[in-house]
Structures are given as structure tokens and as C-alpha cells.
């Protein structure tokens, strides 16, 4: 078994599963948004804001945000371990990616539930 500490789950299986489940959620979310936009041609701010005022939509969106965060982390972690061989550079970039994802996630939550 190959041990690795920067991979949070430390299990390839859970990474693999998370990647697939998150992909499905993101696909559904994307389909929903596209369909919604197509069905509401003259979309105005009030309708759009109304959609996001509903609790189920907030939960669905949060789910999509968490999914995109997990998906991006696992994907980019893989890419950095493939291509970035110098340890310092790799850890640096990985740290940057983690922070960025964290910031985007918190920001996203703030937008959803914020005033």
C-alpha cells in the first residue's frame, strides 16, 4: 500500500467514489440550471433571486458547491502528484489550491445564505 498524507481520505477507493458521486451531482445541477434558463426566456432578477430564496434550492446549490470543491481537490491533487516532482513546489501549489477552494466555498455559502 502506498501511503500519502496530502490526500485527505488516504483511500483511493473513497476518492474514486467521491469523484463519481460529485460528478453526478454536478451534472444534475448543471442540467437543472440549463433547463431552468431555457424554460424562463425572459428571466429577471426577482425570479432568479426567488429561486435561490427557496430552501431546497439553497441545499441543492450547497451540495453542488461542496461537490465541486471535493471534485476539484481530488482532481488537482492527482494532477500535481503526476506532474510536479519537486516536493516543495508540489506542497506549495497544493496548499494554494486548498486555500483557494476553501475561500470559494465559504464565499459561496455566504452568497447563498447571506443577506
Partner 1 sequence: MSTLQVSIYRYNPETDSAPYMQEFQVDTQGRDLMVLDVLHLMKEQDNGLAYRRSCREGVCGSDGMNMNGKNGLACITPLSEVVKKGKLVLRPLPGLPVIRDLVVDMGLFYKQYERIQPYLQNDTPAPAIERLQSPEERDKLDGLYECILCACCSTACPSFWWNPDKFVGPAGLLQAYRFLADSRDTATRERLTELEDPFSVFRCRGIMNCVAVCPKGLNPTRAIGKIREMLLANAT
Exactly one of 16, 48, 52, 96 binds partner 1 (CB under 8 A); which one? Answer: 16
Cell 469523484 belongs to residue: 19
Query: Across the chain, where does the E strand assignment appear?
Result: none
Exactly one of 38, 82, 88, 115 binds partner 1 (CB under 8 A); which one? Answer: 82
Residue 11 interacts with partner 1 (CB under 8 A): yes or no: yes
Contact assessment for residue 59 and residue 29, using Cβ atoms and an 8 Å cutoff: no
Contact assessment for residue 67 and residue 22, using Cβ atoms and an 8 Å cutoff: yes
Residue 73 interacts with partner 1 (CB under 8 A): yes or no: no
Name the residue nearer to partner 1 (CB basis): 11 or 95: 11
Residue 23 interacts with partner 1 (CB under 8 A): yes or no: no
CA angle 45, 114, 51 (to 5 degrees): 35
Exactly one of 2, 38, 46, 115 binds partner 1 (CB under 8 A); which one? Answer: 2
Burial class, 77, CB count within 10 angstroms (exposed 0-12 / middle 13-18 / buried 19+): buried
As measured in angstroms, the least distance from the Cβ of 47 to partner 1 is: 41
Binding site for partner 1 (CB under 8 A): 1-4, 7, 9-17, 78, 81-83
Amino acid at each position: 500500500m502506498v501511503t500519502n498524507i496530502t490526500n485527505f481520505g488516504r483511500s483511493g477507493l473513497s476518492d474514486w467514489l467521491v469523484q463519481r458521486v460529485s460528478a453526478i451531482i454536478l451534472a444534475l445541477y448543471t442540467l437543472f440550471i440549463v433547463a431552468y434558463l431555457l424554460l424562463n426566456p425572459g428571466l429577471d432578477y426577482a425570479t432568479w433571486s426567488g429561486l435561490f430564496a427557496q430552501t431546497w434550492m439553497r441545499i441543492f446549490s450547497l451540495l453542488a458547491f461542496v461537490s465541486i470543491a471535493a471534485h476539484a481537490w481530488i482532481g488537482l491533487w492527482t494532477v500535481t502528484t503526476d506532474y510536479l516532482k519537486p516536493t516543495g513546489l508540489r506542497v506549495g501549489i497544493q496548499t494554494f489550491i486548498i486555500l483557494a477552494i476553501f475561500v470559494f466555498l465559504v464565499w459561496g455559502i455566504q452568497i447563498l445564505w447571506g443577506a
